[in-house]
């Protein structure tokens, strides 16, 4: 996809959350996670690719030591709507008996996060905490999934920026944008 596609998307989008608001939310999430961990060293799994920017910023806001790895599973593969879950990389560190933090960009319907959480539990994690930058405001959430830590709410529109993509573009935008609803 070309840069023009992203420029066209930005021309038809609203800035929902700017960088200062995102930074403040991440700092608060880090403090809340520290309180929950009570000094225990968790496995910190970045959910790729969307969770990369958020996970890096979040990790810097957590004062507790972390054991890092990542997981890459996707239902989107560059598309606007999800399909079957495709595993690209499973975590390589031992999860048995550990607290696991899944750090992802957004909790939309939650099917991918639910599958990753179930994988961690099957591998013996004693507790899996889900930290997301954003939660989409709608009622279509997968049964049995919720974020333990959520920074920001976003509207039920297509959102991109700060890790979230528009046709694999715009992940590095410093704000979060939502396409305007068609009129």
Residues carrying an active site annotation = 108
Residue 90 to residue 13: CA distance in whole angstroms: 34
Four-residue CA torsion sign, 136, 139, 146, 90 = negative
Residue 50 to residue 16: CA distance in whole angstroms: 17
3 state SS of 65: coil
| Residue 136: strand pairing partners | 154
Q: How far is CA 28 from the centre of its chain?
A: 16
Phi-psi label, residue 161: left if phi above 0, alpha if psi -120 to 50, beta otherwise: left
- Cα–Cα nearest to 45, from 30, 33, 56: 56
């Amino acid at each position: 996809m070309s840069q023009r596609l992203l420029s066209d998307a930005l021309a038809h989008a609203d800035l929902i959350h700017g960088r200062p608001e995102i930074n403040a939310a991440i700092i608060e999430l880090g403090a809340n996670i520290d309180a929950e961990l009570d000094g225990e060293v968790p496995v910190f799994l970045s959910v790729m690719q969307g969770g990369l920017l958020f996970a890096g910023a979040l990790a810097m806001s957590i004062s507790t030591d972390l054991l890092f790895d990542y997981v890459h599973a996707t239902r989107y593969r560059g598309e606007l709507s999800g399909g079957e879950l495709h595993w690209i990389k499973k975590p390589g560190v031992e999860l048995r008996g550990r607290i696991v933090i899944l750090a992802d960009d957004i909790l939309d319907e939650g099917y991918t996060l639910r599958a990753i959480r179930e994988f961690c539990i099957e591998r013996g994690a004693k507790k899996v905490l889900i930290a997301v930058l954003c939660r989409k405001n709608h009622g279509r959430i997968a049964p049995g999934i919720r974020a333990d830590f959520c920074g920001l709410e976003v509207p039920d529109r297509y959102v991109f920026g700060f890790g979230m993509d528009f046709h694999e573009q715009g992940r590095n935008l410093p704000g979060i944008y939502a396409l305007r609803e068609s009129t």
